[in-house]
Structure 1
Amino acid sequence: MSLSSRSLLATMISLALYGPAMADDNPQATTNNINDTTNEASQESQPEIDVSTLEVVKGTCIAPQDRSQDINNEPVHIAANEANAESAIAVTYSGDVVIKQGHRTMAADTATYHQPDNSVTAEGNVYFHDGGMEVFSDRLESDLDTEDSEMDNAVYNMTCEPGRGEAEKVVKDGLEYYRLKNGTYTTCPAGDQSWRFSATSIERETDSPFANLYNARFEVVDVPIFYLPYLRVPVGKERLTGFLYPNIKLNSRDGFSVMTPFYWNIAPNYDMTITPKYMTNRGLQLNTDFRYLTTFGSGGLKAEYLGSDQKYQDLGARWAFNFNHSGTYQGHWLFTADYSKVSDVAYFNDITSNIGKREDNNLLQTAEASYREQDWDATLRVRDFQPLTTGVSSNYRLMPQLEANYYRLDLPYGFDFQLNGHLSRFEIDDPNKPSADRLHLEPTLTLPYSTPWWSITSEAKLMYTYYNQEFDKNVQANQHLEETVSRTIPSIRVHSGLYLERNTQIWGSDYTQSLEPQVQYLYVQSVDQKNIYDAYDTTLLQTDYYGLFRDKRYSSVDRIAAANQFTVGASTRYFDNEYKERFNLSIGQIFYLNQDNANIDDSSDEATPNYSATALESDFNYDDWLFFHGGLQFDAGSNDIQFANSALEYRESSFFTQLNYRFVSKDYIKSSLKDNNDIDKYTDKGISQAGIVTGFPVYGGLSVRGDYYHDLNDSRMIESQISLNYRTSCWLITVGYNKYLVARGDVRFDTPTYENNYSISFSLLGLAGVSSFGASTASGNAIAYGQPFNLNN
């Protein structure tokens, strides 16, 4: 909104220096095609300046790193059609006057240096460019003694960031201060008067990221919307204290709500956003978001407070907060923390909030500190939670866990060695379940070998675990447990793969096809583990194609599944002539040599086949506009599909449509859950959900974004959303509607509960601190959008 430091002054100095020299040499001379270079120390001939230089400069941004570092000592180049010098009085340049000094350029019809009062006047089509801004004016006056300048009828454009305006007069006081009389500012392009700030006076200090507006008006299409006697606005990317743009919503839960965020720029490394939110159905809620950045890392504190919930007055004040931190210290230490808490278990059901992280109806409370060296690392962590359900929680707390790992990758004969271990304390509120101390050590010796076309990795592992379990012996479920238990299980794994490729053609186009077969043998000794509680922090892992080649079935060590099996699989890929992958297909299966190891449930009496379900994965990319991903697990023994997912997307420029689907059988869900007795309350047939997501331009800046998700088993909608977005080069407005399933109710009865949301959002684009609007799902209950070809990356 102003010129940079010494912008006008440095240009005018060139006239002052050159003028006396001309006067001394020829007091009344008229010279054509003058071309000189001047600085405080010397004058020397330079190549002629072409007037077309202006056309190159106009509208361009010169990055700060490309600008002259000491521009006032740069040579000054002057070009003009004529120069008239009158000794000791004035020197006048006329006719296409162009002056360059470093990255600065000035042009005018005439430029006159007045020697008695040491001032400069430029008139007629005055133009100035300093790298980040250009100014057009009728007339310029500059006093070289006081370094004050004035420009009449000025029009300015910022060239490195959005911003332009005009002023009746631009006054420069010395080197550090600029004032625009009756000036305007907007980020809209020339000719677009959608919105602007107008003020009787706009002031800015040199290099300041902010401008001060006095008697400011905000105008939309030349119509004043509001008036403020004083306003400070950002003209760069820096943050600024002040109100952000309000957000208006209407939904069935909160009624009509208005949010008016206030941003407080406390310091360069601290800030806070304070957002009062008034809801007609709930009352006034205060939300705060404090952020910090220190040498120990970054983090923040979020808080929400509703003094009196008019909808549930018996609950009193309702609140929630979250503290998070992540950072390193001296290159070896790593610290992370994420602690959240809410006033009551129904908080997230009643109030829209993104506080903290939720998992399995629990609000997580975690922290850890790690130390890392080249060959070893150690981590101390705690994991607690706040249950979001009534009754006693059945989840375990980690209070605490000490993990240590040692690596040695330079042993003789190419062997690698690593030792993983942890010491953990598990606590629980449920008196019917055990608590425990657990020590686990896992030394592993690996021999990798590879060539460009073949690889084989052999691995030997010994897993030792010691438990000290505390439990109520009178509980029937604990009768098989022992207080002190140790377990040692050896494991051997050999994995080998080939890489073969050939050139081929499909529909006349050249491709490179690869074939990547792989085979793995895994042996894990069968050990009786019934005296150990198997769910302190352990759950069954999902088995897709990539999971077939794991060396374990469970996420942790409370349950180590025995194995004596071969896994066979293969992948084929097609690459175009630019080595871009266009298609892949992978298929694999496990063959059990010991049938007893095929069934993950030791208590099951059902006969099991000697092979696993067949797993398939495939991706397809046709000419970067049609994408597909699919995954499938098919059990040939029962002739059933256990798990499936797929996504098909068409994308062309700003138009896209994606269809997605996921399926999980009820038997597969039951096998993944330890406590599956109540599964009938939630599903009769498993999961079968389909969705569509689309977005496309309508006309001009108007676009539509929408999605719809449906439960095929229960024949009910899960979530739907539609938003209309109208965007110009300097403002954006979005109107949206969203409806999503809050509670399914009992699947045997049609009693679902839905939430309806209406929203409107308005943003001015180009102002610092203002982010543009993006449509997003409100609930997170539906299938999330993902690029189909990249789902496994």
Structure 2
Amino acid sequence: MSLTSRSILATMISLALYGPAMADDNPQAANNITNNTTPQVPQAKQLPMLEVSDEGLSGIEVVKGTCIAPKDRSQNINNEPIRISSDQADAENAIAITYTGDVVVKQGHRTIAADTATYHQPDNSVTAEGNVYFHDGGMEVYSERLESDLDTEDSEMENAVYSMTCEPGRGEAEKVIKDGLEYYRLKNGTYTTCPAGDQSWRFSATSIERETDSPFANLYNARFEVADVPIFYLPYLRVPVGNERLTGFLYPSMKLNSRDGFTLETPFYWNIAPNYDMTITPKYMTNRGLQLNTEFRYLTVFGSGSIKSEYLNNDKKSPDSGQRWAFNIDHTGLFQSHWLFEVDYSKVSDVAYFNDIDSNIGKREDNNLLQTAEASYREQNWDATLRVRDFQPLTTGVSSNYRLMPQVEANYYRPDLPYGLDFSMNSHISRFENDDPNKPSADRLHLEPTLTLPYSTPWWSVTSEAKLMYSYYNQQFDKNVSANEHLEESVSRMIPSARVHSGLYLERNTSIWGDAYTQSLEPQVQYLYVQSVDQKNIYDAYDTTLLQTDYYGLFRDTRYSSVDRIAAANQFTVGASTRYFDNQYVERFNLSIGQIFYLNPGAADIDGSSDEASPNYSATALESDFNYDDWLFFHGGLQFDAGNSDIQFANSTLEYRESSFFTQVNYRYVSKEYIKSSLKDNNDIDKYTNDGISQAGIATGFPIYGNLSVRGDYYHDLTESQMIESQITLDYQTSCWLISVGYNKYLISRGDVRFESPTYDSNISISFSLLGLAGVSGFSASTASGNAIGYGQPFNLNN
């Protein structure tokens, strides 16, 4: 076989499958190659370089099933050299040139193989037959026959089997039609992400269309089939096979539980513009009716955000509730590097909305739905913020929460003053309003100039701080309410404070059971002075609450979250931490212990009174974390009052984790006396607990057999001897689908623990998820109640 004949056929096949038409309309006839005469080569445009190779079928074994990333593909495939090999070639004068026996054609990142390949000279076309293989970097196709017209660039492959090589996806087609260079159409084709031989689910369609570089495929007369059984039909469906956005229906989801019945969601994605899109999701629940959910997302020069809404015209399960709806506006943006905007506003139609309907609208805190907005301007040495905050109560009756309507905050910073001093001025003006007529409203001005002198070396640091806190209140209240009898309408308050905090860092090498470790010792001491001032004439809970005291809280300069109460102090805080690091400097263990010693115990009282019975020291606080070889973890915290031999607060978590198995046991305890001392209004504490808080829980998950696994948790109130929540879920997962069956029972209301029994609700749920589909979020477990106690991180080591 001559090199010329190989070159002619290689060029023809490559032109048919890869490049633009290059053949002349009137090609010259070719002589029979076996007569050793040179055929007349048709005139060609931009003829690529041609090389002849004898690599045979081994050339396609390299690319079979492999993904060639877009960045590694040829940028201009038609300018790449063509390489061809076969066992033999024959030519019939002016009719055809045929290659036979392991024909392989390669050009750039594209490869074709066949038993035979024939160039038909009269109609300027190419036919490949027998074990036809095609690979273009992101897709490979096996077929029985391929035909290509060199003039129109149209090609057809019969009885094709295809698979994606860069993402999950494969299927079959009666015919694959390539229209020109950019468009593929599959006649009577299928699509699935299941591996070969697994027919668990698939999409079937009379026509599947996709542009070469498009991340989406269009399905016409689409059917979703499970084990070859049709489940639903859509006249049109757009299937994502990449991460780009395009208008069309997304994958539907199905769920079954005892609360809502059978639920079917069919989301439709609308790609409005490059910076705007919307997802519209009809959600049908057999027990409740049809709900319409929408999410509009945007990106502008002022930032990004979303607008979510849920609308249920008639809840069949709660017909007296009328129209039920919810919406949320969420925005975060930075403008011109100085302006910062944040909005999070949510509202629902009724207080029972979240108890009845599964929803992810807004943020909920203490049975209130958050409604807040703020705008900030920031420079290098100062910033200012305008903030408003409101809540929608999710309980009946008058809300006890204060609205911030509004607050203007201004802060000034000036570091690196002479002598190493840093200066800051924090200030705000706030307006507080409340719907409860028995509670006061107020305007508050607060100024807080601070001087700080920091000093540090690699092994020692000391920070000195002086602060002056000035507040002015204009309070409006009902003087006939006994709780307001100590309040004054116009109040000013000035409190100076000083703090000195110093710490050491010491380190040594040590060994435990023959293993090398680095141990650190980090002692620290703080002196804090805050002048004692009588504050009974100021309402203490506009936006202020007592902070929890743990080891790290011992070194704060305030006991409260805001400035309505400023606790007096004349005290030393002493504490120390030790840490162990392995030879990779991974922290494996730490232990911290600390305590406050009061120089003037009575000064710690908020009202300025002196109490000779006040203790000279606080409870001892301990914190510890332990990580053994990344499979056993422990975290514990404790506050112990040695004077009263009483544990005030304790929490602990122990977790075993290995591969797909984990078990976590946790416990928390708060004494009733500690709760009473922490709450201003503790008259009703007996309604909620007989003897403080004592709760234990366990969460676990592990494989049972093969693809079957179980997850579960159980939480119990030991004080009241009642379950808080329990759930168990069985998951069966394959490479392309997952089915989950779960049972959940959860506490709705405790009632008065002295007289009433708790109220529970329960649900059985079944959900089905397809895996491996682009544009579909991964499966995540959730409870039917939506209020399960979350999984807690068992340790907080600093690595």
Q: TM-score of the superposition, structure 2-length normalised? A: 0.90
Q: Does the 8 Å contact 1:598/1:612 carry over to 2? A: no
The alpha-carbon deviation at position 750 of structure 1 amounts to: 4.7
Q: Secondary structure at the match of 1:57?
A: coil
1:427 pairs with 414, 430, 433, which one? 433
Correspondence for 1:551: 557
Amino acid at match of 1:463: M
2:269 pairs with 242, 264, 276, which one? 264
1:665 pairs with 671, 685, 700, which one? 671
Q: Does the 8 Å contact 2:159/2:174 carry over to 1? A: yes
- The CA deviation string for residues 335-357 of structure 1, in whole angstroms up to 9 with x for no partner, is 11111223333444454444322
Correspondence for 2:3: none
The alpha-carbon deviation at position 768 of structure 1 amounts to: 3.6
- The CA deviation string for residues 664-712 of structure 1, in whole angstroms up to 9 with x for no partner, is 1112222222221111111111111100101111111111111000000
Q: Secondary structure at the match of 1:790?
A: coil
Correspondence for 1:273: 280
Comparing 229-238 and 523-532, the one that deviates more: 229-238
- 1:191 and 1:760 mapped to 2: Cα distance? 26
- 2:787 and 2:23 mapped to 1: Cα distance? 73
For 1:226-241, list aligned pairs within 5 A.
Answer: 226-238=232-244, 241=248
Correspondence for 1:713: 719
- 2:698 and 2:612 mapped to 1: Cα distance? 39
Q: Does the 8 Å contact 2:54/2:86 carry over to 1? A: no
Correspondence for 1:111: 117
Comparing 79-88 and 407-416, the one that deviates more: 79-88
Correspondence for 1:446: 452
Q: Which runs of 5+ in 1 are unaligned?
A: 1-6, 32-37
Correspondence for 1:736: 742
Change (3 A) 1:279 1:677: farther
Comparing 300-309 and 126-135, the one that deviates more: 300-309
- 1:257 and 1:51 mapped to 2: Cα distance? 53
Change (3 A) 1:181 1:779: closer
1:150 has 2:156 as partner: yes
Q: Does the 8 Å contact 1:29/1:84 carry over to 2? A: no
- The CA deviation string for residues 200-237 of structure 1, in whole angstroms up to 9 with x for no partner, is 33233333333333444333223333445544433333
Correspondence for 1:207: 213
Q: Secondary structure at the match of 1:758?
A: strand
- The CA deviation string for residues 80-118 of structure 1, in whole angstroms up to 9 with x for no partner, is 454556776655444443333222222233334344433
For 1:281-680, list aligned pairs within 5 A.
Answer: 284-309=290-315, 313-599=319-605, 607-680=613-686
Amino acid at match of 1:786: G
Change (3 A) 1:289 1:751: farther
Change (3 A) 1:89 1:14: farther
Q: Which runs of 5+ in 2 are unaligned?
A: 1-12, 39-43
- 2:441 and 2:98 mapped to 1: Cα distance? 94
Q: Percent of pairs identical after alignment?
A: 78
Correspondence for 1:35: none
Q: Secondary structure at the match of 2:419?
A: helix
Q: Does the 8 Å contact 1:108/1:125 carry over to 2? A: yes
Correspondence for 2:252: 245
The alpha-carbon deviation at position 635 of structure 1 amounts to: 0.9
1:100 pairs with 103, 106, 109, which one? 106
Correspondence for 1:34: none
- The CA deviation string for residues 310-352 of structure 1, in whole angstroms up to 9 with x for no partner, is 5555444333332222222223222111112233334444544
For 1:750-769, list aligned pairs within 5 A.
Answer: 750-769=756-775
Q: Secondary structure at the match of 2:365?
A: coil
- 1:416 and 1:22 mapped to 2: Cα distance? 92
Q: Does the 8 Å contact 1:461/1:490 carry over to 2? A: yes
1:691 pairs with 689, 697, 715, which one? 697
Comparing 623-632 and 197-206, the one that deviates more: 197-206
- The CA deviation string for residues 635-659 of structure 1, in whole angstroms up to 9 with x for no partner, is 1111111111111111111111100
- 1:319 and 1:657 mapped to 2: Cα distance? 39
Correspondence for 2:145: 139
- The CA deviation string for residues 107-145 of structure 1, in whole angstroms up to 9 with x for no partner, is 233334344433223233222211111111222221121
The alpha-carbon deviation at position 470 of structure 1 amounts to: 2.2
- The CA deviation string for residues 368-406 of structure 1, in whole angstroms up to 9 with x for no partner, is 111222222221110111223333322211111111222
Q: Does the 8 Å contact 1:739/1:755 carry over to 2? A: yes
The alpha-carbon deviation at position 258 of structure 1 amounts to: 2.6
Change (3 A) 1:96 1:317: closer
Change (3 A) 1:314 1:781: closer
- 2:633 and 2:21 mapped to 1: Cα distance? 64
1:180 has 2:186 as partner: yes
Change (3 A) 1:171 1:355: closer
Q: TM-score of the superposition, structure 1-length normalised? A: 0.91
- 1:727 and 1:789 mapped to 2: Cα distance? 30
- 2:37 and 2:445 mapped to 1: Cα distance? 97
Q: Secondary structure at the match of 1:413?
A: helix
- 2:729 and 2:117 mapped to 1: Cα distance? 57
Q: Secondary structure at the match of 1:407?
A: strand
Q: CA RMSD in A?
A: 3.1
- 2:18 and 2:359 mapped to 1: Cα distance? 59
- 1:528 and 1:700 mapped to 2: Cα distance? 69
Amino acid at match of 2:184: Y
Comparing 418-427 and 644-653, the one that deviates more: 418-427
Q: Secondary structure at the match of 1:395?
A: coil
Change (3 A) 1:367 1:22: farther
Change (3 A) 1:88 1:606: farther
The alpha-carbon deviation at position 435 of structure 1 amounts to: 1.7
Change (3 A) 1:14 1:50: farther
Q: Secondary structure at the match of 2:616?
A: coil
- The CA deviation string for residues 512-544 of structure 1, in whole angstroms up to 9 with x for no partner, is 111111111111122232222221111110011
Q: Does the 8 Å contact 1:82/1:95 carry over to 2? A: yes
Amino acid at match of 1:533: Y
Comparing 163-172 and 463-472, the one that deviates more: 463-472
- 2:152 and 2:498 mapped to 1: Cα distance? 85
Correspondence for 1:702: 708
- 1:30 and 1:702 mapped to 2: Cα distance? 69
1:785 has 2:757 as partner: no
Q: Secondary structure at the match of 1:237?
A: coil
- 1:704 and 1:757 mapped to 2: Cα distance? 17
Amino acid at match of 2:543: D
Q: Does the 8 Å contact 1:15/1:120 carry over to 2? A: no
Comparing 580-589 and 439-448, the one that deviates more: 439-448
The alpha-carbon deviation at position 719 of structure 1 amounts to: 0.3
Q: Does the 8 Å contact 1:278/1:284 carry over to 2? A: yes
- 1:744 and 1:414 mapped to 2: Cα distance? 57
The alpha-carbon deviation at position 414 of structure 1 amounts to: 2.8
- 2:230 and 2:537 mapped to 1: Cα distance? 78
Change (3 A) 1:393 1:167: closer
The alpha-carbon deviation at position 593 of structure 1 amounts to: 1.2
The alpha-carbon deviation at position 563 of structure 1 amounts to: 1.2
For 1:37-48, list aligned pairs within 5 A.
Answer: 40=46, 43=49
